[in-house]
Chain A
Amino acid sequence: MAVYLDNNATTPLKPQVKDAMVAALDIFGNPSSVHGDGRKARMAVDTARRQVASMFGVRAEQIVFTSGGSEANNMALRGYFAENPTKKLVISAVEHNCVYKTALELNRLHGVPLHILPVDKDGIIDLADLDDTLAKGNVGMVSVMHANNETGVLQPIADITKRVRDAGGLMHVDAVQSAGKMPLSFIDMDLDILTMAFHKMGGPKGVGVVILRPDIAMASHISGGSQEKSRRAGTENTIAIVGAGACAELWQKSVTDMAERIEPLRDYLEKGLKKLANDIFIIGETASRIANTTNVVVPILEGETAVMALDLEGYAVSTGSACSSGRVEPSRVILAHNLEPELALCALRISLGWQNTKDDVDGFLKAFATVLERAKKNS
């Protein structure tokens, strides 16, 4: 069995979540139906809605279930700009493609004014640039990811939100990579919209949420029925939603695991990596990061090759976003950190998860040393 260290791509299902989903397999009714089978399904979906709401400290009606993080982010941007196409959209250069490409398309096809914020070498957005663009007025929405999927670096959301508030814009945070890795309070963060997905935190694939401030109305980006209070058409994915609820509830019982167990393990991993070669460095090492992510650059070892060689040694890691793997072009996100393309090609992401142990990390370090030795020999 391979050791799985690619938890920012997706995670294995937690056993308790799986049990809840298996139990829900017999709930076949359509939650919109009036009859008993429908009511049973409605009950399951709304129980999950309360569990998820509790995780983020919001009311159940603020939760809109979607098919995952990509749809949630599409909904946040498209839903808002369908009604406000002349307002400005501000994103950062390191957003995930489901935000980045959606923004480019809104700009190209619908004329939405778009500003892309540059980032520094740690991947943190340039607040002065944000101030400049906000000062020019007409701000509709600022959409910034909380934690970067490739590096784990956290954006200073409080600083950003305050500025967006003052400028009268809406604040959307893509929390796909931070949800489940640190406590998030929608109210304390003073957000308008938060999006996340459950498969990054031990939950099932195919379910995510958009959390909306209660006074924000958003039309469905999918035409059809009036599910999710007319905010997202389509019959609910009951089983996955039950899994999401179970996952959210479980998270609240183990909320400190990431900080107390995974973060020291990640630090141990990075210490071990840096011992292997002098020119190894970690992107965003001194920046504030989520607990589980390491993006290491080994100038002698191409990330793509490392991923294959480590897979052969029984360790699953990646070069960055799983969605962009299989390309030799360096990652757009890593390039935005002002890294030279040759070095950006050498970025390798190791992301720990709830199931990982110190043995996993020790084994990985050993395998990595083998692969690195081979690269030295053949270079």
Chain B
Amino acid sequence: MAQTIFDTLNIAPLVAGKTPAETTVVAAMSGGVDSSVVAALLHRLGYRVIGITLQLWDYTPAQESGETKKFGTCCALDDVYDAQRVCQTIGIPHYVLNYESEFKDKVIDDFVDTYLSGATPIPCVRCNQRIKFDSLLDKAKQLGGDILVTGHYVRKVMGEGNLPEMHQGLSPEKDQSYYLFTTTPEQLTFSAFPLGDLTKAQTRELGKELGLHVHQKADSQDICFVPGGDYRKVVRKFAPHAEETGNFVDSTGKVLGQHNGIINFTVGQRRGLGLAFGEPMYVTAIRPDTREVVLGPKEELGVKTFMVKDATWLSKIPSRNTEVTVRVRAGHLGVAGEVEQLGDGRLQVHLFDPEEAISPGQAAVFYADKHMLGGGWIENPHAGKIKVEISAT
């Protein structure tokens, strides 16, 4: 028989000192191909696998506007069914946990808040931090799990003192370490990421080999609770006042025109300004308290120093003079810089060269080569101390 991808895999025991048959693995399953392959693969390798799917968001039309619920419009539920079907097919137990209210409180409210404060959120990080690696990890322990596995493309590597480190996935275009920067050492110790050494194509091949009906399922492109990508609709729903008009101004404060609400803009944005200038203009800052969107030419976009808050570290904190690679958004290849500790989880990041489009609300994640060290949230220098309330005015 011809050798298959399955035969070429070499996966180290997930829990040291335990055979697969003695290891209970809790697989976080989204219903997509990645996590399905993880569950099926480990089952095939002889692990005791328990599948868990989180139901986070029911975005049937009724949620949006009180319309009657329609069948066939709810992708979230389809994903739950896909995960269920995978588990039935391979013969492992599967449970659905309803975290809709926690997700609303801990992820969606933060998403709306962040837009209202003139910043651009990354809800997937909040979800990883506050739901998946918090609530779910706890549940996994309660179910007698020895380890939690996910379909993320990152690698867990044993480093100095036998402490686990998180490294980028081997396939650079799929690496998801940026989204996992808030992972704590305790969480990492209890987690494993079997796809870290694979490419997406290899994962799909494995899915086919393992007989999974989802092996050709499309990757999710959108934020799960923003189907079609129209995030404004979500913000508007929870904060109807979010689209109050304001002024476009230049860096000297001169009014350039009117805009339709700060939530429609992200630092670095060029398109969709609705104004014509002699030269290309970019959003360089957002001031939520005065509802001003600052525009400027490309050269005003460059930033060398910026502030980061709520920093978390998965490894030793780098000293002031250590060069690190800084990634300022998902998909960003990273630029060189240094990190200065200011206390209370605040950092000042010094880049060696100016970088464009440092967007408040996004994460700055620090690496030593492939090794993800930690990260924090980019502050809006213009947010001041004004508290933006989520409520209709």
Contact = CB atoms under 8 A, between A and B. Distances in A.
Interface string A331-375: 000000000000000000000000000000000000000000011
Nearest to A302: B142
B98 A327 contact: yes
B139 A305 contact: yes
B139 A374 contact: no
A309 B98 contact: no
Given A311-B93, A312-B93, A328 B143 contact: no
Contact of B144 (A302, A327, A328, A374): A374
A36 interface: no
Contacts of B55: 326
B138 A378 contact: yes
A375 B50 contact: no
Contacts of B232: none
Interface string A53-77: 0000000000000000000000000
A309 B143 CA distance: 5
A308 interface: yes
A308 B93 CA distance: 9
Contacts of A308: 93, 95, 143
B141 interface: yes
Interface residues of A, number: 14
A378 B95 contact: no
Contacts of A328: 97-99, 101-102
Contacts of B102: 328
Contacts of A374: 141-142, 144
Interface string A92-113: 0000000000000000000000
Nearest to B135: A328
Interface string A319-331: 0000000111100
Contacts of B101: 328-329
A305 B139 CA distance: 7
A326 to B, nearest CB: 6
B342 interface: no
A326 B98 contact: yes
Interface centre among A309, A327, A328 (most CB of B within 10 A): A328
A298 to B, nearest CB: 12
B153 to A, nearest CB: 28
Given A328-B102, A374-B141, 18 more contacts: A302-B142, A305-B139, A305-B143, A308-B93, A308-B143, A309-B142, A309-B144, A311-B93, A312-B93, A326-B96, A326-B98, A327-B98, A328-B97, A328-B98, A328-B99, A328-B101, A329-B101, A378-B142
Interface of A: 302, 304-305, 308-309, 311-312, 326-329, 374-375, 378
25 contacts: A302-B142, A305-B139, A305-B142, A305-B143, A308-B93, A308-B95, A309-B143, A309-B144, A311-B93, A312-B50, A312-B93, A312-B143, A312-B144, A326-B55, A326-B96, A326-B98, A327-B98, A328-B99, A328-B101, A329-B101, A374-B141, A374-B142, A375-B142, A378-B141, A378-B142
